[in-house]
Amino acid sequence: MTSRHSFCRSCLNRCWETGLRECSVCRKKPSKAKPPSNLALRNVCQALLEARRSSALDEKMNCNLHGEKLKLFCLEDKQPICLVCQTSKLHKSHDCSPIDEAVQDCKDELALSLKNLQVKEDNLKRIHMTSTYMSMYIKSQALETQRRIKGHFEQLHQVLYQEESARIAAVKKEEEEKIAGIKDMVKEQSAEEQSVTETISAIQEQLEEDEIVLLKNFKAIQDRERSIAPGSENMSGLLIDVAKHLCNLQYNVWEKILDHIDYTPVTLDPNTAHPCLILSDNLTSLRYSNQQSGCPDNAERFHMSAEVAGATSLGSGSHHWVVETGSNQDWLLGAASSSVPRNSEISARPENGFWTLCFRNGEFRAMTSPPTTLSVTRAPEQIKVHLDYDKGTVSFFDPADDMLIYAFSHTFTETLLPYFYTQSSHPLRIMPEKVLVTVLRQ
């Protein structure tokens, strides 16, 4: 208000911002930096707004159908009702509770829902973070796998290159030998040709000599002619033995490559390895480390102890693999069901889906229920695991003399995986096997 003239606050502020700080009616300028408020008018406006809010609240607290105050809460329809509504057909048979009780019950229920939703929100955030990290890990995993593939092929390329160089060198060597032989043969033939030419000249001279002279020299000329060996016309074996170099070349090279290639009947699945286990690049050995790797928390991974499974499921037939234990003093080896829990710690027992042999504290034990202590004449440096799925046996041998250490018997109902555990920094290594090539002739 200025000069007792009142204006809307928003209109007055717009006018004030233009710099023309004077009354729009009488054009008088105010004595204060800011226009004073009309307290009486402001109080009237606030009272009107409060009355409107109170009226709106009262309307909300009353039933829309009957105008009565909402005093009950229908437990079936989940809505507040008045006393008239309770006696109506819509709610007559429904259970109801007082508003005060319903409010507390609803608050408790909403609080529980809020808590559950917050847990879900936290889980979703965790899953989102895990998914983001897993995407990054997959990219890293792909690059590392490609690097290892290239490394393996570089080794094969090197073997092929060496074999190619050796075979080309063999051809060149034979070429040099054949050409040297031809040169020696030509040299001998040239000498023989020279001798024949000289003998011809000598005979022609004798034919022109006197008869007595001819007769005197006849025997010598005849002996000279007889001493000339007949020229060899045998030209066999002079060419390059092309068949020797090209016959079944790819097959022969493949056999040579097998001498440089290891075949391992079982390999490890890195996606199942506990973060404390370090696997070799070719996935045939494992060892324990106190520093965990930054692998993702995927469902297939063993989370509770230093375990890893083989990469191939075994559901039929007979299988075996040999593990070099060496100086490792803490290990379990054998087979496990594909469905064994990966995120909880359970005993490696047959009833839990494990058929294993344990070496710990210098003692061998078959992990039965309870474990069976085994007596062995000497501690083997290798253990052979033999699974006969159809016969239902998991057996352990000392491959040095094929002596049986222990055998489990069980009727398997699901696929099995090779199983490994260690808490030693000394590696367990799956031994390669010799590959034999058999040609079927029909």
CATH of the domain at 387: 2.60.120.920
The predicted model gives 350-356 an average pLDDT of: 96
Regarding whether 327 and 189 lie in a shared domain, the answer is no
Whether residues 278 and 313 share a domain: the answer is yes
Distance between CA atoms of 69 and 277, rounded to whole angstroms?
70
| 97, part of any domain | no
Residue 405, in any domain of the structure: yes
pLDDT of residue 193: 82
Tokens describing residue 396: 């352990």
Question: 87 lies in a domain?
Answer: no
Overall average pLDDT of the 164-181 stretch: 94
31 part of a folded domain: yes
Percentage of the residues of the chain whose pLDDT score is greater than 90: 46
Specify the pLDDT at position 2: 42
The total domain count for the chain is 3
Q: What is the mean pLDDT of residues 97-107?
A: 85
Same structural domain, 369 and 277? yes
Within a domain: 67: no
Please tell me whether residue 74 adopts helix, strand or coil conformation: strand
Q: pTM of the prediction?
A: 0.65
Does 330 share its domain with 401?
A: yes
Regarding whether 209 and 315 lie in a shared domain, the answer is no
Domain ends where: 194, 223, 258?
A: 258
- Is pLDDT of 287 > 80? yes
**83 in a domain, yes or no?**
no
Regarding whether 334 and 188 lie in a shared domain, the answer is no
Within 10 Å of residue 431's Cβ, how many Cβ atoms?
Answer: 16
> Which tops the pLDDT comparison, 19 or 425?
425
Separation between Cα atoms, residue 82 and residue 74, nearest integer Å? 10
Model pLDDT, residue 307 = 96
Angle, CA of 103, 106 and 107, to the nearest 5°: 85
Q: In angstroms, how far is the first alpha carbon of the chain from the final one?
A: 117
Mean pLDDT of the chain: 86
Structural domain for 305, as ranges: 270-430
Q: Are residues 277 and 403 in the same domain?
A: yes
Domain boundary among 206, 228, 258: 258
pLDDT at 84 over 80: no
Confidence at 63, pLDDT banded by 50, 70, 90? confident
Q: Is the pLDDT of residue 1 over 50?
A: no
Task: Quickly state the pLDDT bin for 211 (edges 50, 70, 90).
Answer: confident
Higher pLDDT, 342 or 23: 342
248 with 279, same domain: the answer is no
Residues 127 and 241 occupy one common structural domain: yes
**Residue 19 DSSP one-character state:** T
Tell whether 16 is covered by a domain. yes
Q: Does 95 map to a domain?
A: no
Single out the residue of 220, 173, 230 nearest to residue 196, CA to CA: 230
Q: Do residue 195 and residue 289 come from a single domain?
A: no
Check whether residue 329 and residue 378 sit in a common domain.
yes
Q: Which band of pLDDT confidence, cut at 50, 70 and 90, is reported for residue 30?
A: low
Neighbours of 117 (CB within 10 A): 11
Tell which of 234, 258, 282 closes a domain: 258
CA angle (193, 196, 199) in 5-degree steps: 150
Task: Please name the residues in contact with 52: beta carbons below 8 A apart, sequence gap of 6 or more.
Answer: none
Contact 214, 207 (CB under 8 A): yes
By percentage, how much of the chain surpasses pLDDT 70? 88
One-letter amino acid for residue 240 of the chain:
I
What is the H or E stretch that residue 138 is in?
Answer: helix 99-208
CA 334 – CA 343 distance, rounded (Å):
20
Cα diameter, the chain: 179
**Res. 4 pLDDT band, cuts 50 70 90:** low
Question: Are residues 299 and 249 both part of a single domain?
Answer: no
Residue with the bigger pLDDT between 230 and 95: it is 95
Cβ(418)–Cβ(307) under 8 Å? no
Q: Does 247 have pLDDT greater than 80?
A: yes
CA distance 348 to 366: 10
Query: Sign of the C-alpha dihedral, residues 260, 264, 270, 274?
Result: negative
